[in-house]
Protein backbone atom coordinates (compact mmCIF):
# COMPACT_ATOMS: atom_id res chain seq x y z
CA UNK A 1 0.00 0.00 0.00
CA UNK A 2 1.22 3.48 -0.81
CA UNK A 3 2.14 5.58 2.21
CA UNK A 4 0.81 9.11 2.16
CA UNK A 5 1.86 12.05 4.25
CA UNK A 6 -1.10 13.31 6.34
CA UNK A 7 -1.19 16.56 4.34
CA UNK A 8 -1.25 14.61 1.05
CA UNK A 9 -3.97 12.27 2.30
CA UNK A 10 -6.18 15.23 3.22
CA UNK A 11 -5.84 16.67 -0.27
CA UNK A 12 -7.31 13.51 -1.80
CA UNK A 13 -10.65 13.22 -0.07
CA UNK A 14 -12.20 11.88 -3.27
CA UNK A 15 -10.03 8.75 -3.31
CA UNK A 16 -10.52 5.57 -1.31
CA UNK A 17 -8.03 2.73 -0.93
CA UNK A 18 -9.04 -0.92 -0.75
CA UNK A 19 -6.80 -2.43 1.91
CA UNK A 20 -8.15 -5.99 1.84
CA UNK A 21 -10.43 -8.29 -0.13
CA UNK A 22 -13.31 -7.39 2.20
CA UNK A 23 -12.80 -3.65 1.79
CA UNK A 24 -12.75 -4.05 -2.01
CA UNK A 25 -16.02 -6.01 -1.85
CA UNK A 26 -17.55 -3.23 0.26
CA UNK A 27 -16.35 -0.57 -2.18
CA UNK A 28 -17.70 -2.49 -5.20
CA UNK A 29 -21.05 -2.96 -3.45
CA UNK A 30 -21.14 0.78 -2.72
CA UNK A 31 -20.40 1.59 -6.38
CA UNK A 32 -23.22 -0.71 -7.50
CA UNK A 33 -25.76 0.62 -5.03
CA UNK A 34 -24.91 4.32 -5.25
CA UNK A 35 -24.92 4.35 -9.07
CA UNK A 36 -22.32 7.14 -8.96
CA UNK A 37 -19.60 7.13 -11.62
CA UNK A 38 -16.40 5.51 -10.37
CA UNK A 39 -12.94 4.46 -11.48
CA UNK A 40 -10.85 1.75 -9.87
CA UNK A 41 -7.08 1.76 -10.33
CA UNK A 42 -5.74 -1.78 -9.90
CA UNK A 43 -2.00 -1.61 -9.31
CA UNK A 44 0.86 -3.09 -7.32
CA UNK A 45 3.56 -1.59 -5.12
CA UNK A 46 6.26 -3.39 -7.15
CA UNK A 47 4.96 -2.08 -10.50
CA UNK A 48 7.10 0.78 -11.82
CA UNK A 49 4.43 2.00 -14.25
CA UNK A 50 1.84 1.97 -11.43
CA UNK A 51 4.12 4.06 -9.24
CA UNK A 52 4.65 6.54 -12.08
CA UNK A 53 0.93 6.93 -12.85
CA UNK A 54 -0.34 7.03 -9.26
CA UNK A 55 0.41 10.76 -8.66
CA UNK A 56 -1.56 11.66 -11.80
CA UNK A 57 -4.44 9.46 -10.61
CA UNK A 58 -4.41 11.35 -7.29
CA UNK A 59 -4.43 14.72 -9.03
CA UNK A 60 -7.29 13.65 -11.32
CA UNK A 61 -9.29 12.64 -8.23
CA UNK A 62 -9.14 16.29 -7.18
CA UNK A 63 -10.27 17.48 -10.63
CA UNK A 64 -13.21 15.08 -11.12
CA UNK A 65 -15.15 15.51 -7.87
CA UNK A 66 -18.30 13.79 -9.19
CA UNK A 67 -16.42 10.54 -9.84
CA UNK A 68 -15.45 8.17 -7.03
CA UNK A 69 -11.76 7.20 -7.24
CA UNK A 70 -10.52 3.91 -5.79
CA UNK A 71 -7.04 2.39 -5.60
CA UNK A 72 -6.69 -1.37 -5.06
CA UNK A 73 -3.31 -3.08 -4.73
CA UNK A 74 -3.62 -6.54 -6.25
CA UNK A 75 -1.37 -8.01 -3.55
CA UNK A 76 -3.58 -6.65 -0.76
CA UNK A 77 -6.80 -7.88 -2.42
CA UNK A 78 -5.65 -11.15 -4.01
CA UNK A 79 -8.94 -13.05 -4.02
CA UNK A 80 -10.90 -10.26 -5.72
CA UNK A 81 -8.26 -9.24 -8.25
CA UNK A 82 -7.58 -12.59 -9.89
CA UNK A 83 -9.17 -11.20 -13.09
CA UNK A 84 -6.53 -8.42 -13.32
CA UNK A 85 -3.86 -9.45 -15.83
CA UNK A 86 -1.99 -6.15 -16.31
CA UNK A 87 -1.00 -3.39 -13.92
CA UNK A 88 -2.14 -0.76 -13.90
CA UNK A 89 -5.69 -1.59 -14.99
CA UNK A 90 -8.38 1.07 -14.74
CA UNK A 91 -12.04 0.04 -14.64
CA UNK A 92 -14.79 2.61 -15.14
CA UNK A 93 -18.31 2.29 -13.69
CA UNK A 94 -21.52 4.13 -14.51
CA UNK A 95 -24.88 3.39 -12.91
CA UNK A 96 -23.31 0.53 -10.97
CA UNK A 97 -22.05 -1.31 -14.08
CA UNK A 98 -18.56 -1.58 -15.55
CA UNK A 99 -18.61 0.36 -18.82
CA UNK A 100 -14.93 0.59 -19.80
CA UNK A 101 -11.46 -0.70 -19.01
CA UNK A 102 -8.01 0.69 -19.74
CA UNK A 103 -4.65 -1.07 -19.44
CA UNK A 104 -1.31 0.61 -18.83
CA UNK A 105 -0.15 4.17 -18.48
CA UNK A 106 -1.40 7.22 -20.28
CA UNK A 107 -2.51 10.25 -18.33
CA UNK A 108 -4.23 11.80 -21.37
CA UNK A 109 -6.10 8.57 -22.17
CA UNK A 110 -7.16 8.31 -18.54
CA UNK A 111 -8.26 11.94 -18.41
CA UNK A 112 -10.27 11.53 -21.65
CA UNK A 113 -12.09 8.50 -20.25
CA UNK A 114 -12.82 10.31 -16.99
CA UNK A 115 -14.20 13.26 -18.93
CA UNK A 116 -16.53 10.91 -20.84
CA UNK A 117 -17.58 9.25 -17.57
CA UNK A 118 -18.36 12.52 -15.78
Q: Return the number of other C-beta atoms located less than 10 Å from residue 35's C-beta.
A: 12
What 3-state class would DSSP assign to 99? Answer: strand
Q: Count how many Cα atoms sit within 13 Å of the Cα of residue 2 in the half-sphere of its side chain.
A: 28
Residues catalogued as catalytic: 47, 50
Amino acid sequence: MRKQEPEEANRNVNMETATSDQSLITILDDIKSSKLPAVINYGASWCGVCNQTFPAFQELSNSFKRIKFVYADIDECPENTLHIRYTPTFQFYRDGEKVDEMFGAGEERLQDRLWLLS
